[in-house]
Amino acid sequence: MIKKINFREKEYSITINNKSDTAIIFLHGFCFDQTVWADMLSYLKDYSTITFDHSGMGESDIHENHSIDLMAELLKTIIDNLDFKQYFIVGHSMGGYIACNFATKYPEKINGITILTSHPFEDTPEKKENRKKAIQFIENNGTSPFLKQMIPSLFSKDFTDKNPSIIQNLLEKSFAFKKEGIIGCQNAMINRPDSSKCFNNNIGWQVIYGKYDQTVTADLSIGQALLPDMVDIICLFDSAHMSMIEAPQNTANAIIQFIQNTIR
């Protein structure tokens, strides 16, 4: 089912699958769209699943003054327009930033969050500088050379070597994204606030990270897992940053177990 939701003068298409009292909202990462979850969703048919394209990504237009705060407000609007008894969020990479930001403001609206190869912290000065350099590179060279370097680097070498068609398909989708959207999301990540106080709220927490992830390292993932009073932490030994594609069944199984242990 597709539900249309208006938010700040822009229309979003929300995809809802399956019928259940419990809904899982999936927040995709930078330079991907909601189809990135397709393989994993086939293992989650006992739950209603909700996906959409973030502002500036996929088929969604970019907002002026785009920010992670703005995307958290969009998430609230989506939940307010739905009618499920319980909500869980799975936030991957940039989607994890949005999920943690949301949890600092509206913890009463959700039961639990899975931080999937992501974290709640503000960018380091070095990371901010690297993002600014990436923006300048895109301004000078367009989006395609940037995407050709970035997207394969998110997977383990073994996966990219064995699955060139999957990487190519992701690249072709991302080539259609507007430059303004990609730059807008980079700036949103540069300017996002620290959201680590999200762990102070009484909701369930799960941290999933990939053994071969060079973007969100094991040290960073384990470090954030020390902040909540209770957390389910999972290392996926067969993936890097893109576990929903590299290890979809293992990732789905971990999320199912977390929900079953957290559901009220």
Sign of CA dihedral 92, 94, 96, 98: negative
Cross-strand partners of 201: none
Give yes or no for residue 190 having a pLDDT over 90: yes
Q: Rounded to whole angstroms, how far apart are CA atoms 205 and 54?
A: 23
Residue 48 has pLDDT above 90, yes or no: yes
CA atoms of 195 and 161, how far apart (whole Å): 36
pLDDT in tens, 166-185: 999 999 999 999 999 999 99
State residue 226's pLDDT score.
Answer: 83
- For position 240, what pLDDT does the model report? 98
Nearest in space to 96 (alpha carbons), one of 258, 232, 206, 230: 206
* pLDDT tens for each residue of 199-238: 988 899 999 999 999 999 989 998 888 888 889 999 999 9
The phi and psi torsions of 148 (rounded to 5 degrees) equal -65, -30
Element (H, E) at 128: helix 125-141
Is the confidence at residue 263, as pLDDT, over 90?
Answer: no
- Please say if the pLDDT value at position 251 is more than 90: yes
At 61 the pLDDT is: 87
Overall average pLDDT of the 102-121 stretch: 96
Query: What is the per-residue pLDDT for 186?
Result: 97
Q: Evaluate if residue 264 carries a pLDDT over 80.
A: no
Question: 64 pLDDT band (50/70/90 cuts)?
Answer: confident
36 exposed, middle or buried (CB, 10 Å; 0-12, 13-18, 19+)? buried
Q: How many domains does the chain contain in total?
A: 1
> What tokens were used for 17?
């699958």
Let me know: does 221 contact 207? Beta carbons within 8 Å. yes
- pLDDT, position 14: 96
Say yes or no to pLDDT of 153 above 90: yes
- Mean predicted confidence (pLDDT) in 149-170: 97
For residue 126, the enclosing domain spans: 2-262
Tell me, what CATH number does 102's domain have? 3.40.50.1820
Cβ-in-10-Å burial (0-12, 13-18, 19+) of 76 comes to: middle
Q: What pLDDT score does 154 carry?
A: 98
